[in-house]
A and B are shown apart, each in its own frame.
Chain A
Amino acid sequence: MGVLLEVEDIRVSYGAVEALRGVTLRLKEKEIVAVLGANGAGKTTLLRAISGLLPLVQGKVLFCGRDIRSFAPFELLRQGLAHVPEGRRIFPTLTVEENLLLGLYGVRHLVSDAERKKRKEWIFELFPVLRERRRQLAGTLSGGEQQMLAIGRGLISRPKVVLMDEPSLGLAPRVVQEIFRVIRQIHEEEGVSLLLVEQNARKALSVANYAYILENGRVALEGKPQDLVHDERVRSAYLGGSGIRQRLL
């Protein structure tokens, strides 16, 4: 299987503070890779650096074998890399439909009108509540609906790779279920590859093919989910006690 995303020993700093201190990871075709870690571990920084929103002090990122920095950040969506950032970042004073269609902006020259309609329908099937609310201002949606909109907006261009930053943050369990149902579905049916940042380690490991655990800007541990859940350190630090195996496997 081809490698879509390769992060090679990158370092990123905010002024004097080093947030990433040599991180290496890879994401292959049709794979979900989870990036876990406590608050402040550097997960968001990692995704923002991949997307070109932060400069690399060292190392490089290859996307489909090409240096990702040969593209301007706004060109990456067209290349097939979508980023659903932390905190949803929907446009509150635009309608739900406008928000969604802006997800096609980067590929607008490649998508016919008929295709646009189809894509929109596809997202509405994934998240039926968005169809009901499509004429509403996005700022009037609940937190869970906003997250669904943010995900739909990230998927509508049918990217090869989606970077998703804490999609379950602050959401009710029922909504988290729905979001993970969609993640599973797009992975199985569309073969989308996903770099999934989560604090909800249990949920993330349940869908991932591979996982990295970040601590203080470094990869502390990596492996297949079924191996990680047996690891004592992971269990105590991220999975909080026993009874996980049954739920996971």
Chain B
Amino acid sequence: MRVFFEQLVNGVTVGSFYALVALGYSMVYGVMKLINFAHGDLFTLGSYLGYTFLVWGAAWITERAGLWWGVLGAILFAFLANAGAGILVERVAYRPVYRAGRLPLVVSALGMSIFLQNAIMAVWGPRFQVYPSDLVPVASLRFLGLSLPLLKVVILFLSLGVMFVMYWIVEKTEFGAAVRATALDREMATLLGIDVQRVILFVFTLGPALGGMAGVMNGMYYRSIQFSMGWNYGLKAFTATILGGIGNIPGAMVGGVLLGVIETLLAGYIPGGGAWKDGFTFLILILVLIFRPTGILGEKVAEKV
């Protein structure tokens, strides 16, 4: 039972990273009908930016304010820097081809993915980098006989908190309604006074920002990062997106957490399951696509095409 709960917490934590990345896929897909292939690499970028922040900048903060501020600083830094990167990517790779249609946009996204991956390799090198253990807190929390690393608990609650804020923005605010309206019918949104360009910029800024944040937390969780990890990770988060229902914001969160839990439990309980973890993920993707392509929380009302 104890093992089960520990696995469950692990699953939810990993799943919440998937969910943060999935949010970016889902928002961009919703508004642009684009599968943003560069999104996984923006996740990697965030991971490296957080790493660099910790290695270079955090000593200064850590000395004065303590380890936690270094950690939070790294997450915030990656969030903001990735938001900037998102704006830049939109400007350079996407905006020039909006009018050309969907296919050029997809090709441009693929190109951006390759560019980012190679740029990260050129800057940080092709080998694994390891998040420094002396720069992250190691204390543990005792809870109902479980021993949970405090860092895990904090990043879990941080990502759940961010997801809640996202949910609130998209589902409960006026601007969120404008984003959903734009996703459904861009022209009608325009007629209602919604500046669609701004909505597009919003999803291309916030998506990578959330992905960057997940990148740092993922780095702290698994410790080692590599320039090419965005591809695989992106595919998993994309699976989570499909699982929850693409274009659906609450769906991305549910799909992410669910995928993390399923993956962790299968890996934990099936002998030799760890090696098959990624296989499970794509099995899920295939099954969802066959049996419920609209995802768990797929649109309740038929959407006109």
Contacts and interface: CB of A to CB of B under 8 A. Distances in A.
Interface of A: 51, 53, 72-78, 82-83, 85, 89, 91-94, 98, 101-103, 105-108, 137, 139-140, 153, 157
Contacts of B180: 91, 93-94
Interface residues of B, number: 23
Contact of B190 (A73, A91, A94, A137): A73
A179 to B, nearest CB: 19
Nearest to B191: A83
A93 B187 CA distance: 16
B301 A139 contact: yes
Contacts of B188: 85, 89, 91
A78 B301 CA distance: 31
A77 B185 CA distance: 17
12 contacts: A74-B196, A76-B193, A91-B184, A92-B184, A102-B177, A102-B192, A105-B174, A106-B192, A106-B193, A137-B300, A139-B301, A153-B192
B6 interface: no
B192 A92 contact: no
B65 to A, nearest CB: 40
A93 B299 contact: yes
Given A51-B191, A75-B193, A153-B192, 14 more contacts: A74-B195, A76-B191, A77-B192, A83-B191, A91-B180, A92-B301, A93-B184, A93-B299, A102-B177, A103-B192, A105-B192, A105-B193, A106-B194, A108-B174
Kindly name the residue among B185, B193, B300, B304 whose own CB sees the greatest number of chain A CB atoms within 10 A.
Answer: B193
Given A92-B184, A93-B184, A94-B180, A137 B191 contact: no
A74 B302 contact: no
B166 interface: no
B301 A140 contact: yes
B178 interface: yes
B278 to A, nearest CB: 33
B299 to A, nearest CB: 6
B303 A92 contact: yes
